[in-house]
Amino acid sequence: MHGKGDVLLSVAQTLRDLQLNYIDCYFVHWPFPNYHPPGCDVGSRSADARPFSLEGFMSVWQQMERLVDMGLVRYIGMSNMTIPKLDAVLPLCRVLPMLIEMELHPSFQQSELFDYCISRDIIPVGYCPLGSPNRPQRDRTQNDVADTELPEVVSVAATHGVHPALVCLKWAVQKGAIPIPFSVNERNFTANLRCVTEVQLSDEDMTLLKQADRNCRLIKGQVFLWSGARGWEDLWDLEGVITK
């Protein structure tokens, strides 16, 4: 939501839908206004898409802070941020984010952003922790890798006698992140929970898994590009400054 009053309306609807009095954590999902229709292809563009605006983002964040003041939300978080954007917004926050949601898996470790968050007592939340094997076709490119097939991940899985997917989850947990795998299968989500307590990766395992980083971003966000953007790289400030 990137409009005046939209955040309060949105959280009110969510509370009604969930039949709750408050939400533990509420996120700003993207740092800029965007929209893509369900099932769209990679070339889809919204006429309302805009690049990041510090003023626009802080207008949204101030609404998020009000949710905390009102007791409707305990903690607030940001998603899909970059270090340049965080450098711009954090000094302006009255209520700091408790969590930052970011793509995080062995082939895309985002060490600089991860360490940035940890050093500021912000908890990283890792989406696509298994490498998102079921992501939409529009998000797939020829150079993508499959995390569960990486030799480093397969080797550690063989050592512990577990599925490579569980190694990906445990790696994230031991790094200090909260991985958020998606599953509607009871057997799978039970195994996901059990691995957190029953599998312990050694220092040697973690060192080996560090070598699995291929800098392979899977969710590139092409459908969120604005008119005049050069490519998906503009979403992620790869040149170290906020792209406009």
- 183-242 residue pLDDT tens: 888 888 888 888 888 889 999 999 999 999 999 999 988 888 888 888 899 999 999 999
Check residue 59 and give its pLDDT: 94
37: which 2 tokens? 């229709």
Position 244 in a domain: no
Using only the alpha carbons of the chain, give its radius of gyration. 19
Q: Residue 129, CB half-sphere, CA atoms under 13 Å: how many?
A: 24
Output the average pLDDT for the chain. Answer: 91
Is the model's pLDDT at 1 over the cut of 80?
Answer: no
Position 62 in a domain: yes
Position 109 in a domain: yes
Q: What are phi and psi of 157, to 5 degrees?
A: -60, -40
Check residue 126 and give its pLDDT: 97
Strand partners, 127: 103
Position 216 in a domain: yes
Position 165 in a domain: yes
Check residue 21 and give its pLDDT: 97
Per residue in 95-137, pLDDT (tens digit) is 999 999 999 999 999 999 999 999 999 999 999 999 877 776 7
Check residue 46 and give its pLDDT: 78
Sheet holding 73-79, edge to edge: 23-28, 73-79, 99-103, 123-127, 178-179
Is the model's pLDDT at 79 over the cut of 70?
Answer: yes
Strand partners, 104: none
Q: Report the CATH number that the domain containing residue 32 is assigned in CATH.
A: 3.20.20.100
Q: Residue 131, CB half-sphere, CA atoms under 13 Å: how many?
A: 23
Position 83 in a domain: yes
Contacts of 132 by beta carbon, 8 Å cutoff, 6+ apart: 105, 139, 218, 219
Cβ contact 145:131 at 8 Å:
yes
Whole-prediction pTM: 0.92
Is the model's pLDDT at 44 over the cut of 70?
Answer: yes
Neighbours of 141 (CB within 10 A): 13
Under the phi-then-psi rule, with left for phi > 0, alpha for psi from -120 to 50, and beta for the rest, what region is 226? beta
Position 1 in a domain: no
Q: What are phi and psi of 92, to 5 degrees?
A: -95, -5
The whole domain housing 50 covers 6-236
Position 175 in a domain: yes
Per residue in 155-188, pLDDT (tens digit) is 999 999 999 999 999 999 999 999 999 888 888 8
Report how many domains make up the chain. Answer: 1
To 5 degrees, how large is the angle CA 199–CA 214–CA 189? 35
Residues 205, 42: Cα–Cα separation, whole Å: 37
Check residue 34 and give its pLDDT: 77
Is the model's pLDDT at 41 over the cut of 90?
Answer: no
Amino acid identity at 221: G
Cβ contact 32:51 at 8 Å:
yes
